[in-house]
Amino acid sequence: MDRRQFISQTAAGSMALGGGLPLAAHAQSRPADVLVVANEFGPNSLDIHTVGANRPAYGVSWICYDRLMTYGRKTLPDGRVVYDRDKLEPELAESWQMAPDGMSVTFKLRANARFHDGTPVTAKDVKWSFDRAVSVGGFPTFQMAAGSLSKPEQFEVVDDLTFRVKFLQKDKLAMPDLAVPVPSIFNSELVKKHVTAQDPWGLNWTRNNTAGGGAYRVESWKPGQEIIYIRNDNWVCGPMPKLRRIVQRDVPNAGNRRALLVKGDIDITYDLPPKDFSELSSDASVVKVSSMPIENSMFYLGMNVTKPPFNNPKVRQAVAWVLPYDKLFDNAIYKRAAKLYGGSPKVSSIAWPQPTGYSTDVAKARALLAEAGYANGFETTISFDLGGATIGEPMTVLIQESLASIGIKAQINKIPGATWRAALLKKDMPMIVNRFGGWLDYPEYFFFWCYHSQDAVFNTMSYKNPALDKLISTAQFANERSVYEGAVKDMIQIAYDEVPRVPLLQPTMDVAMRRDVQGYMYWFHLQPDYRQLSKG
């Protein structure tokens, strides 16, 4: 498919929210400028640069810090509002100018921007923040490198309010990469007070404290319980948010979250099981559901290619042919996804993601396994993230059953959500059920993260193929459309033939909210932008 298309009061209800506000405070009694949110789990860090920062941590970064630029918005024909990947707008930078040769860009910062503690924001804070992002390693550094931003020497302070980025090469992902959550601007002098010889970037401190100047600041954070945001009334980098306070509560039980939403004890939730979203969508009298296909995203089954038996392509292909795709679509995700199977074995389109040529064929799977020398099967483990168990667990159980039909005995390994990202980065799990989505909506960006040999952070299969690496680079820097399209088709073909990860389904982003919640907008990082929400 084209990526352009696209029960009663519970014990949880009596838990106290921060500041003395009870969770059972109904919508009618809450101020119109207070939003109450409940989700399965919250951030495990307040700093996106720290190792293992989870998706809710991206949300902290998005509203508590500023970036030089942000993305514009567009309204789809059906009325849904989404970010516009092709439109960059000012945030901390009021303007910018590209050099005539296209090898640098100069930003002019807002003169009246302040951090939360009142300190003026200057170009030296921007440089320190960018130097940090390209130096801390792991996800942040790799994210910056995705736009060819990799050396502190690329970042120059011209004067207090002028900052320049020098490009190593002409890369169409460089400017979009400056508007994602990673290049957030930190109060450098504040963080420097907490650095040590062992921690030169102050990561231990920023994991539990913010040092930003964004539209909101963290009023309080109780890991595993709640995080409360309060509006920064001195913010000048965008329209002043209408919501004064955000109370975001961890409520692990999905049934509790649904009941709280329907009753009016919370205003919004965005991680219910697909079955709940399906049922809530059919009755819009109290609750409304916004659904959007997540571009550049997929659920997949990954296999670690560094160790037997998954170092054998025929074993991986056998697994791809035995998976119960239709059961996963019907019973694990309740059809709230696009199918990534049953397509043509020959890649003829640059659409991403697109269906593979695999489908369920047990006989073919059994034959391939025999050819690989595993006619009697083997034993292994298959891991999934408990933080996404509502979908991940039924998927994993169904996959376990299908593997058993060809003699593969897979023991299920349940990993807590708080440690899932760290477990992924070790890259030592034999099989995983996981979901990955690329922020920048380009196929070469997804492949850069997930298939590149050069320590790609989310190449969780440890797959290495120099030919594929070259195609990824060709696609990223191609100037001619024909060259670009040829490289993209070839890299998808290799990935599907070698199948270190088996694409399963392209999920939708579902958000359930009370009918008086207005302004929801789909973002690539999948976190609601509270700056844009209001209550009618």
Tokens of 309: 């038996």
User: 265 in a domain, yes or no?
Assistant: no
- Judgement on whether residues 501 and 531 belong to the same structural domain of the protein: no
Residue range 68-72: average pLDDT?
A: 98
Q: What is the CATH number of the domain that holds 415?
A: 3.10.105.10
User: 2 in a domain, yes or no?
Assistant: no
Count of domains in the chain? 2
Mean pLDDT of the residues in the chain: 93
User: 397 in a domain, yes or no?
Assistant: yes
User: 467 in a domain, yes or no?
Assistant: yes
Contact 164, 106 (CB under 8 A): yes
Q: Between the CA of residue 309 and those of 302, 350, 377, 407, 431, what are the distances in Å?
A: 13, 31, 10, 13, 11
Q: Which residues contact 177 (CB under 8 A, 6 or more apart)?
A: 143, 144, 146, 147, 149, 183, 440
| Three-state SS annotation for 452-505 | CCCCCCCCCCCCCCHHHHHHHHHHHHCCCHHHHHHHHHHHHHHHHHHCCEEEEE
249-283 pLDDT, tens per residue? 999 899 999 999 999 999 999 888 899 999 999 88
- Judgement on whether residues 323 and 422 belong to the same structural domain of the protein: yes
pLDDT at 119: 98
- Judgement on whether residues 373 and 432 belong to the same structural domain of the protein: yes
Residue range 47-63: average pLDDT?
A: 94
User: 283 in a domain, yes or no?
Assistant: no
CA dihedral 249, 253, 259, 260 (to 10 degrees): -10
Name the DSSP class of 510. Answer: E
User: 329 in a domain, yes or no?
Assistant: yes
For the residues of 263-302, what is the DSSP string, one character each? HTS-SEE----HHHHHHHHT-TTTEEEEEEE-TTEEEEEE
pLDDT at 21: 46
- Judgement on whether residues 244 and 321 belong to the same structural domain of the protein: no
Q: What is the CATH number of the domain that holds 138?
A: 3.40.190.10
Q: In 487-509, which positions are buried (b, 16+ CB within 10 angstroms) versus exposed (e)?
A: bbbbbbbbbbebbbbbbbbbbbb
Q: How confident is the model at residue 156 (pLDDT cuts 50, 70, 90)?
A: very high
- Judgement on whether residues 100 and 189 belong to the same structural domain of the protein: yes
If one compares 253 and 413, the residue with the highest pLDDT of the two is 413
445 vs 426: CA distance, rounded Å: 22
Residue range 293-301: average pLDDT?
A: 96
- Judgement on whether residues 491 and 523 belong to the same structural domain of the protein: no
- Judgement on whether residues 86 and 189 belong to the same structural domain of the protein: yes
- Judgement on whether residues 472 and 522 belong to the same structural domain of the protein: no
380 vs 411: CA distance, rounded Å: 6
Q: How confident is the model at residue 290 (pLDDT cuts 50, 70, 90)?
A: very high
- Judgement on whether residues 499 and 523 belong to the same structural domain of the protein: no
Kindly tell me the number of DSSP H helices and DSSP E strands found in the chain. 16, 20
138-153 pLDDT, tens per residue? 899 999 999 999 999 9
pLDDT at 127: 98
β-strand partners of 250:
39
2-51 pLDDT, tens per residue? 433 332 333 333 333 333 445 545 556 789 999 999 998 899 999 999 98
Q: In 331-352, which positions are buried (b, 16+ CB within 10 angstroms) versus exposed (e)?
A: bbbbebbbbbbebeeebeebbb
User: 113 in a domain, yes or no?
Assistant: yes
C-alpha count within 13 angstroms, C-beta hemisphere, residue 31: 9
CA dihedral 235, 511, 338, 73 (to 10 degrees): -30
User: 254 in a domain, yes or no?
Assistant: no
Q: Nearest Cα to 296, choosing from 458, 74, 481? A: 458
The whole-model pTM stands at 0.86
Q: Which residues contact 171 (CB under 8 A, 6 or more apart)?
A: 147, 148, 476, 477
107 vs 166: CA distance, rounded Å: 11
Domain that holds residue 333: 297-508
pLDDT at 28: 60
- Judgement on whether residues 159 and 204 belong to the same structural domain of the protein: yes
423 vs 432: CA distance, rounded Å: 11
96-114 pLDDT, tens per residue? 999 999 999 999 999 999 9
Cis peptide before 353 (omega within 30 of 0): yes
- Judgement on whether residues 502 and 525 belong to the same structural domain of the protein: no
Scanning 346-409, the segments in alpha helix (DSSP H) are: 362-371, 389-404
85 vs 88: CA distance, rounded Å: 8
- Judgement on whether residues 458 and 521 belong to the same structural domain of the protein: no
pLDDT at 26: 57
Kind and range of the H or E run holding 419: helix 417-426
Tokens of 192: 């420097």
76 vs 509: CA distance, rounded Å: 16
